[in-house]
Structure 1
Amino acid sequence: MDRQIRDIVVVAASAGGVQALQRLVSQLPADLAATLFVVVHIGTNRPSLLPHLLSRAGPIPAYHPVHGQPIERGRIYVAPPDLHMRLQPGAIHLDRGPKVRHTRPAADPLFESAAATYGARTVGVVLTGGDFDATAGARAIKAQGGLIIVQQPHEAEAPSMPLSALRDDHPDHILHIDDMPSLLVDLAEGM
């Protein structure tokens, strides 16, 4: 039985991602023993209301972090527009590094930094979206002993991201969004 605590949850979404994320966070408990880090592809010149929408959808507060912000358990950190979000030991790093597959923020920098920093504690979640962002990052998480959860492609509004993750590696779980929250709770508690 896997007794590893997996309390660093990185989530990637694009087209259809706002609704998918709202469903996911609406079913998470307020006392979740994990931290979520979310990247959704948005335009660089548009403000993001995603932290507000996610805070309203569920009991866990969501924020746009600032560079160097300490990581707190039981929070949802959403990558701000036009900034990559990367994880360092105990803190969040934001930067305007090169776009990844024409987007910033992108999931791969987040996933890869989480894998490098937190190893097997990391859970990568790939939700609806176009393109193949998060595929390389999912591979990095798996290589460090972390787990990958992929949304059922037939449920995704845009199935390209989930399908790419499925084709590239063997995810640990392929689930409907409504089945993800209970698994995330169990993983955070080492069950």
Structure 2
Amino acid sequence: MAVNSAPQDDPRLARIKESIHSIPDFPKAGILFRDVTTLLLDHKAFKDTIDIFVERYKHMKIDAVVGIEARGFIFGPPIALGIGAKFVPQRKPKKLPGPVVAEEYTLEYGTDRIEMHEGAVQPGERCLVVDDLIATGGTLAAGIRLVERVGAEVVECACLIELSELKGREKLMGKPLFVLVDFEGE
């Protein structure tokens, strides 16, 4: 398990992990897809997931929870509500109206970009960056750079799942990462 992980003696973690289904050969042959939408069907596992994150962050004086499209939008808002912070979406290009700041990042097959409203995060604010899963780390690293470029501080990143064998944590520029479950070797 990763260094910054939920305590493994927490009885809620078994139910959370069991509620995440693994889909072989999706979206293409050779990929084992971890489907977090099945966790949403189990209201107890979903509540436990949010509760663990809220318990961790409620005393860290987080100003903004920044959720990366699309599944960061599932977990980010209830965490933000639970800790009394605002929620800021980071979206794919041309999805946000008005002026945006953007960060481009490299994928195995090309490049992509995420955007955030100008002024949504203010200089000096303490931010938590949330996504459902970290694999190679490119998207989460871009989210961190975007927050830091506007002068805010990334306190930590939070993901439900880490695929640690892909070493995405190494791309996070030393930022702490908190995860609930790791499917390494499974």
Q: TM-score range by the shorter chain?
A: 0.3 to 0.5
The answer to which structure, 1 or 2, has the higher relative contact order (CA under 8 A, 6+ apart) is 1
Q: Report the structure, 1 or 2, having the larger strand content.
A: 2
**Taking structure 1 as the reference length, what is the TM-score of the superposition?**
0.39
